[in-house]
Amino acid sequence: VIQVCLPLNTLGLSFRQAREALINAERMSELLRYPPESDPAEALPELHFRGGAVEFSNVDFSYEPGRQILHGVDFRIEPGATVAVVGGSGSGKSTLARLLLHFYDVDGGSVKVDGQDVRSVSHKSLRSMIGVVPQDSALFNNTIAYNIAYGRAGATPADVIEAAKAARIHELIQSLPAQYDTLVGERGVKLSGGERQRIAIARAVLKNPPLLVFDEATSALDTRTERAIQEELDRLAQGRSTLIIAHRLSTIVAADMILVMDHGRIVERGSHGELLRAKGLYAQMWSLQRQQSELDESGSRLTAQP
Ligand code: ATP
């Protein structure tokens, strides 16, 4: 039996739908809003914020019996520090974020925020402290203003505009037919992955959480969008404990610590410079990505020629 810490059945979701929603914490908290009384964790004490230290201690985890996904994962994010996780597809990176948000229980070890086990505090208090910028942000079928304001109850239109400016999406919104009242989502204006991610960043800016989880998009964004998102992320990460699940190594060169995951284990850790000097898996990944981006650049130079 898969141990999901949510009353999924009571939400009338199929397991597949629920699984797809899991990483998207913002959506999940929307779903949770309807039957909050049926989440037993809400009766638990609130999490007390003391700077935002995150601690994974010797964490073992499996979604299904007999298939262990994480093996003795052990790391700490100091208050205000940025930790980046890299590794191959399926190595367990996003699972770390799901455990931090307590969507699942660990099988062994513990996950703590400011010394408090995530199993011992209310989900509402835990998740209100964590801003999540998911890989592919699904938007609500509502206006752009609603989608951004969702980050903070009681946000004013001026707050929404300020957050949109910070996420470099204000100009684009102004060019839309009904500006901030434009409908988005499945039934509204279609936005690109990069645009949706910037809306999610604006939402996180507004939420102003002490902890930030950024799940970098796997899909290729154009270089300008990528750089804009990167700059905004850097600004957002200032002074907050940040966990970045990274796919492009170029985005995490400045992280305080990089964890390299392989088949659910942390196999290397250190700063970018330290890991390059170690000439291990990270150094190999770095040189592969360098070669790839040089190839891409020469490819685009060729296609740019008349
Ligand atoms: P990617 O870079 O492709 O996003 P990842 O490193 O983030 O990968 P995870 O999403 O953490 O990988 O998944 C780790 C492993 O757990 C994978 O083998 C995946 O198939 C499995 N897994 C993920 N979610 C579930 C689930 N809900 N039920 C069962 N297995 C799952």
Q: What is the pLDDT of residues 147-197, one digit of tens each?
A: 999 878 888 999 999 999 888 889 999 998 899 999 987 777 788 877 888
- Give residue 80's pLDDT: 93
Q: Which uninterrupted H or E stretch holds 83?
A: strand 82-87
pLDDT higher than threshold 70 for residue 14: no
- Give residue 300's pLDDT: 58
Q: Quick one: how far is CA 72 from the chain centroid?
A: 22
ipTM reported for the complex surpasses 0.95:
yes
pLDDT higher than threshold 70 for residue 19: no
pLDDT higher than threshold 80 for residue 115: yes
Contact 69 CB / ligand 1 (< 6 Å): yes
- Cα(68) to centroid of ligand 1, in Å? 11
The pair of three-digit structure tokens given for residue 148, joined into one six-digit string:
């951004």
Burial class (CB in 10 A: 0-12, 13-18, 19+), 57: middle
- Give residue 297's pLDDT: 65
Q: State mean pLDDT over 13-37.
A: 45
- Give residue 228's pLDDT: 73
Alpha-helical regions (H) of the chain:
15-22, 25-33, 93-100, 123-128, 144-149, 157-166, 170-174, 193-207, 223-237, 272-278, 281-304
Contact 93 CB / ligand 1 (< 6 Å): yes
Question: Residue 62: beta bridge partners?
Answer: 68
Residue of 95, 216, 281 to mutate, ligand 1, most atoms within 8 A of C-beta: 95
Confidence of residue 248 (pLDDT cuts 50, 70, 90): confident
- Cα(86) to centroid of ligand 1, in Å? 14
Counting from 1 in the atom list of ligand 1, the atom nearest the Cα of 261 is 6
- Give residue 185's pLDDT: 77
Higher pLDDT, 99 or 247: 99
pLDDT higher than threshold 70 for residue 18: no
Residue nearest to atom 2 of ligand 1 (CA): 89
pLDDT higher than threshold 60 for residue 39: yes
- Cα(181) to centroid of ligand 1, in Å? 36
- Give residue 111's pLDDT: 98
Closest by CA to 169, choosing from 194, 146, 149, 186, is: 194
Counting from 1 in the atom list of ligand 1, the atom nearest the Cα of 95 is 11
Higher pLDDT, 257 or 2: 257
- Cα(300) to centroid of ligand 1, in Å? 33
pLDDT higher than threshold 80 for residue 7: no
125: left (phi over 0), alpha (psi -120 to 50) or beta: alpha
C-beta neighbour count of 47 within 10 angstroms = 22
Contact 95 CB / ligand 1 (< 6 Å): yes
Higher pLDDT, 264 or 225: 264
> Angle between the 223-237 and 193-207 helix axes, to the nearest 10 degrees?
10
Convert the pLDDT of each residue in 59-112 to its tens digit.
999 999 999 999 999 999 999 999 999 998 899 998 999 999 998 999 999 999
Higher pLDDT, 262 or 137: 262
Q: State percent of the chain over pLDDT 70.
A: 81
Contact 94 CB / ligand 1 (< 6 Å): yes
Contact 211 CB / ligand 1 (< 6 Å): no
Contact 89 CB / ligand 1 (< 6 Å): yes
Residue 44 DSSP code: S
- Give residue 273's pLDDT: 95
Counting from 1 in the atom list of ligand 1, the atom nearest the Cα of 19 is 27
Residue nearest to atom 10 of ligand 1 (CA): 94
Confidence of residue 215 (pLDDT cuts 50, 70, 90): confident
Does the pTM exceed 0.80?
yes
Give me the phi and psi of 127, to 5 degrees please.
-75, -20
